[in-house]
Structure 1
Amino acid sequence: MATTPQRNGRRPSALQGALSAAAQANATLAATGALADTFGFHPLWGAAGTVAAAGATVLANAQAAPSALLYRLACWCGAGTWLTWVLATDMWQPSSFATLGIGTLAAVLGSPLAHRERQRLEASVGRGALVLSSTSRLAQDWERRVLLNCHFNVRIEEVRWWPGRTGYDLLTRIETPGRTRADLERGADTMATNAKLPNGCGIEVTKGPDRGSAWMRVGIVNRLAETIPYPEDFSPTSFLDPKTLGEYRDGSPVQVVLRQKAGLITGQRGSGKTMLQHVLTCEAGRSRDAIVIHIDLNGGGLSQPWLDPWIEGDIDRCPLGWAASNIDEALLVSRAMLAIAKDRKRSTRRIKKAANSQLLPISVDLPAYKIIVDESAEAMGQTSEPRYAELRSNLAEIQRIGRNEAIEVDFSGLRATQDVIPVNVKKQSSLRIGMFVQDTEEISYLFGWGRGLSLEDLDGPGCGFIQFDQEKPRPFKAAFMDFLQITRAAVAISRIRPDFDPAAERAARSVIGAAFDTRFERMRVAFTEHNEDDYDEAGEEEGRAQLPAVRTPAPAPAVPGRDFTLIMGGNMADWPHPSEIAAAMANQPAQAAVRIAPGVLPAPAEAPELIRRAMAVFHAEGDDRIHSEDLAAALGFPNKYELAAALAPYGVTARPNAFLKGGQRRRGYDLADFTTATQRDQQGSAEGPPSALAGPHNPHVGDPHTHTTPTRDPHIHADQAN
Structure 2
Amino acid sequence: MGNTKTKTVEHHGLALDWAAGHGPITGALSATTGAYAVATVGTLAHMPPTWALAVGTVGAIGHTASGLRQKLAARTIGARAASWLLGSGWTTWALATGPLNWAALGSLAVIGVGMGAAARATGLYEEARELEALAAAERQVARELSAERRQIAAEWVDRVQRVCGITLRVLALEMWPTNTGFTIDAELPPGGITYDRIAKENARLSADARLPHGCTAAACPGIDQGRVLIDVTTVNVLAAEVPYPSDYSALSVHTGIPWGYRTNADEILTYLREQCALVVGPTGSGKTNMVHVILAGFARAKDILTWVIDLNAGSAGLPWVRPAMQAGAGEAVRPGIDWLASTHEEALLMLDAALRIGLYRKRAYQDLMAKANTDLLPVSHEIPQIMIVIDEGAEILTSNDPETRKLAKKILEVIRMLRAMGLRTVLTALGATGAVLGNVMIRREAKTRVALTGGATEGMDLSKLFPGARGLRIEQAPHKGTGFMGTPESPAGLFGTWRILPTQISEIVHATSERHPRLDAVSAKAAGPDYARRWDHARTAWINDHEPSLPAPDTDTTAPAARTGGGLNLSAHRTPAQAPAATAADGVDAEFERLIAAEFTTPNAARDQKPPRPGLNLSAHRDEDNAARQAALTLLIAAGPEGTGASAIARQLDRYGTTRQTVAGWLKAWTDEGEAIRIGTGTKTRYVHHTHAPESPDEG
Normalising by structure 2, report the TM-score. Answer: 0.55
Structure 1 segment 137-536 matched on structure 2, within 5 A: 137-314=151-328, 316-383=333-400, 385-421=401-437, 422-436=439-453, 437-439=456-458, 441-448=460-467, 451-469=470-488, 471-509=490-528, 513-514=529-530, 516-529=532-545, 532=548
Aligned residue number for residue 579 of structure 1: none
| Structure 1 contact 272–435 (Cα < 8 Å) conserved | yes
| Structure 1 contact 153–176 (Cα < 8 Å) conserved | no
Give the letter aligned to residue 351 of structure 1: L
Question: SS at 1:328's partner residue?
Answer: helix
Distance 1:547 1:178 in 2: 93
Distance 1:359 1:138 in 2: 48
Distance 1:152 1:327, change over 3 A: same
Distance 1:147 1:349, change over 3 A: same
Unpaired stretches in structure 2, ≥5 consecutive residues: 1-138, 552-561, 569-700
Distance 1:515 1:133 in 2: 65
Distance 1:278 1:328 in 2: 24
User: Deviation per CA, 1:333-389, whole angstroms, max 9, x where unpaired?
Assistant: 111101111111111111111222222112222111111111125522331x33211
User: Deviation per CA, 1:287-337, whole angstroms, max 9, x where unpaired?
Assistant: 222111101112211111111112334465333110111111111111110
Give the letter aligned to residue 447 of structure 2: S
Give the letter aligned to residue 435 of structure 2: D
Give the letter aligned to residue 331 of structure 1: L
Distance 2:353 2:247 in 1: 32
User: Deviation per CA, 1:380-438, whole angstroms, max 9, x where unpaired?
Assistant: 2331x332112111111211222211111010111112333434212211211111142
Give the letter aligned to residue 153 of structure 1: T
Give the letter aligned to residue 294 of structure 2: L
Distance 1:514 1:468 in 2: 34
Distance 2:495 2:254 in 1: 22
Aligned residue number for residue 26 of structure 2: none
Question: SS at 2:284's partner residue?
Answer: coil
Give the letter aligned to residue 451 of structure 1: R
| Structure 2 contact 317–340 (Cα < 8 Å) conserved | yes
Structure 1 segment 27-38 matched on structure 2, within 5 A: none
Question: SS at 1:165's partner residue?
Answer: coil
Distance 1:522 1:257, change over 3 A: farther
Distance 2:300 2:260 in 1: 16
Distance 1:238 1:225 in 2: 30
Distance 1:235 1:546 in 2: 62
Aligned residue number for residue 597 of structure 1: none
Distance 1:409 1:164, change over 3 A: closer
User: Deviation per CA, 1:580-613, whole angstroms, max 9, x where unpaired?
Assistant: xxxxxxxxxxxxxxxxxxxxxxxxxxxxxxxxxx
Give the letter aligned to residue 525 of structure 2: R
Give the drift of 1:138: 1.5
Give the letter aligned to residue 532 of structure 1: P
Give the letter aligned to residue 164 of structure 2: C
Question: SS at 1:230's partner residue?
Answer: coil
User: Deviation per CA, 1:654-713, whole angstroms, max 9, x where unpaired?
Assistant: xxxxxxxxxxxxxxxxxxxxxxxxxxxxxxxxxxxxxxxxxxxxxxxxxxxxxxxxxxxx
Question: SS at 1:163's partner residue?
Answer: coil
Give the letter aligned to residue 362 of structure 1: V
| Structure 2 contact 221–229 (Cα < 8 Å) conserved | yes
Distance 1:477 1:286 in 2: 20
Distance 1:503 1:193, change over 3 A: same
Give the letter aligned to residue 336 of structure 2: P
Distance 1:547 1:252 in 2: 70
| Structure 1 contact 311–528 (Cα < 8 Å) conserved | no
Distance 1:250 1:328 in 2: 45
Distance 2:518 2:178 in 1: 45
Distance 2:358 2:530 in 1: 19
Distance 1:471 1:440 in 2: 24
Give the letter aligned to residue 388 of structure 1: T
Question: SS at 1:372's partner residue?
Answer: strand
| Structure 1 contact 325–526 (Cα < 8 Å) conserved | no
Distance 1:245 1:470 in 2: 14
Question: SS at 1:259's partner residue?
Answer: coil
| Structure 2 contact 215–476 (Cα < 8 Å) conserved | yes
Question: SS at 1:498's partner residue?
Answer: coil
Count of residue pairs brought into register by the alignment:
414
Distance 1:179 1:530 in 2: 64
Unpaired stretches in structure 1, ≥5 consecutive residues: 1-124, 536-541, 549-722
Give the drift of 1:546: 9.1
Give the letter aligned to residue 525 of structure 1: A
| Structure 2 contact 450–485 (Cα < 8 Å) conserved | yes
Question: SS at 2:441's partner residue?
Answer: helix
Distance 1:238 1:523, change over 3 A: farther
Structure 1 segment 667-682 matched on structure 2, within 5 A: none
User: Deviation per CA, 1:144-202, whole angstroms, max 9, x where unpaired?
Assistant: 11112112211222211112421111112111523111111111111111111111100
Between the aligned residues of both structures, percent identity stands at: 27
Structure 1 segment 522-671 matched on structure 2, within 5 A: 522-529=538-545, 532=548
Distance 1:381 1:526, change over 3 A: farther
Normalising by structure 1, report the TM-score. Answer: 0.54
Give the letter aligned to residue 396 of structure 1: L
Question: SS at 1:335's partner residue?
Answer: helix
Distance 1:522 1:239 in 2: 33
Distance 1:486 1:467 in 2: 26
Question: SS at 1:180's partner residue?
Answer: coil
Give the drift of 1:137: 2.3
Question: SS at 1:275's partner residue?
Answer: helix
User: Deviation per CA, 1:438-480, whole angstroms, max 9, x where unpaired?
Assistant: 2485211111155221123323111121111274202111112
Runs (4+) off by over 6 Å? 545-548
Give the letter aligned to residue 473 of structure 1: A
Give the drift of 1:223: 0.4
Distance 1:184 1:514, change over 3 A: closer
